[in-house]
Amino acid sequence: MRRLGKAGEARVTSSTRRDYRLDNLRCILIFLVVFSHLLVETKTRGPATRVLYQVINLFHMPGFVLLTGYFARFRPKRMFTGLVVPYVVFQVLASVRKNIVAGRVWSAGLTLLYPQWTLWYLTACVMWYCTVPLLERVVSGRAQLAVVVGSLVVSIAAGLAPWLGEFLDLARVVVFYPFFCGGYYMGRRGFSRKIDALDQRRLRTVQVGSTVVLVVAMTLHYAHGACPVWVLRRDTPYANGWECEARIIMQLAAVAWCLWLLVIVTNAKRGIASEVGRNTLSVYLLHTWVIRALRHTLPLPGGELMGIMLCAAIAAGTLVALGNDRVARAFRYVFACGWLKQS
C-alpha cells in the first residue's frame, strides 16, 4: 500500500471529515418543522404563538431546501429508492387514512399527482435533482450567481401564473427552487469549510454582518405588515400587488436567515443533535403520524405559554425517538428499498 506523507494525510482527513455544522443545522431545522406542525395541529393559540409560527415559517423550509441542494447529486437509482418509493408508500398510506377518517372507500380519491401534506417535499426533490446536470455546467461564480438570482425572480413571478397550483405542488417547487440552487453552488464551493478557515476576528465580523442583514430584513418584514406565511407557499395567483411585495420581502428575509444560521451554527459534534441531523428524512416522514395521533388524544394544559412549552418538549422527544441511527436504518430498510444494493 502506498504511504502518504503528512500533507497527503492532512488533505485526506480534511476532505473526508464529516461536516457537523450542517448536521447540527439540519437538526435545528427539522425540530422547527415538527414544532411548527405541533403548534397548528394542537390548536395552540395566542399572539406569541402567531409571531413564533410566522418567524419559523419564514426560514425553516428554505433552510432545509438549501441544505438539500448543498448535498445534491444526480443519481437516478438513489432518487428512485430514496424519494420515489417512500413518496408512493406514504402517499397511499396518507390517502387511505384520510378516507378511513372520512368514512369513504379506501381507494376513493387515491392519486399520486397531488401530494398529501408534507409529501410535496419528496416530489420537489425529484424535480430539483433532475436539474443538477444543468446546474453543474455553470462553472464561473458570476454565472452561478446569475442562475440563483434568476431563479429568485422566477419564484416571485410564479405568483402571476394561474396554472401553478396543487398539481405536484408545483407552486412550492418553483418558490423554493432558488434555495436549492444556492445550496448546490455553496456545496460545490465548500462554503462551510470556508467558514471554518476564517480566523476568530473575521468570523466575528461575518457573524455581526449577517446579524445586521437579518435585523434589516426582519424590520422590512414587519414594516410591511408581518406578511402571512401563506403568501410564500400559496398555490393560487396573487390577489393584489401587496402579496407580490410580501413574497419579495419574505424571500429576502429567508435568505438572510439561512446565511445567519450558516455562520452562527458551529462545526462541532453535538451528540444526539448531530445524530438526528444525519437522519432527518425518517423524522420528516414519520412525525406527521405522531402528530395526527396526538391531535385528538393529547389534552393541552390551559395557557399559551404552557402549550408552547409542551409542543417544544413533544417535538424534542419526537426527534430523539425517530431520528436516532437505529430507527433511521430500519426506516431506510423498510421504506427506501434499503434491502437493495444501491450504486
What is the pTM assigned to this prediction? Answer: 0.88
pLDDT of residue 9: 40
pLDDT confidence bin for 12, thresholds 50/70/90: very low
- pLDDT exceeds 60 at position 298: yes
Nearest Cα residue to 79 out of 34, 128, 30: 128
Provide the phi-psi class of 108: left if phi over 0, else alpha when psi is between -120 and 50, else beta: beta
How far is 203 from 194, CA to CA, in rounded Å?
A: 10
- pLDDT exceeds 90 at position 70: yes
Instruction: Read off the amino acid at residue 6.
Output: K
Start-end of H helices in the chain = 6-16, 20-41, 47-70, 76-79, 85-102, 120-129, 132-135, 141-157, 170-188, 191-196, 200-223, 230-233, 241-264, 272-278, 280-295, 304-322, 325-335
Tell me 103's DSSP state.
T
* 101: phi then psi, degrees, rounded to nearest 5: -60, -40
> Mean pLDDT over residues 275-289, rounded?
92
> Mean pLDDT over residues 272-298, rounded?
87
- pLDDT exceeds 70 at position 228: no
DSSP states along 139-186 = -SHHHHHHHHHHHHHHHHHGGG-TT-SSGGGHHHHHHHHHHHHHHHHH
> Distances from the Cα of 3 to the Cαs of 7, 8, 10, 17, 232, in angstroms?
11, 9, 13, 20, 54
Nearest Cα residue to 127 out of 66, 162, 84: 84
| CB neighbour class for 2 (10 Å; exposed up to 12, middle 13-18, buried from 19) | exposed
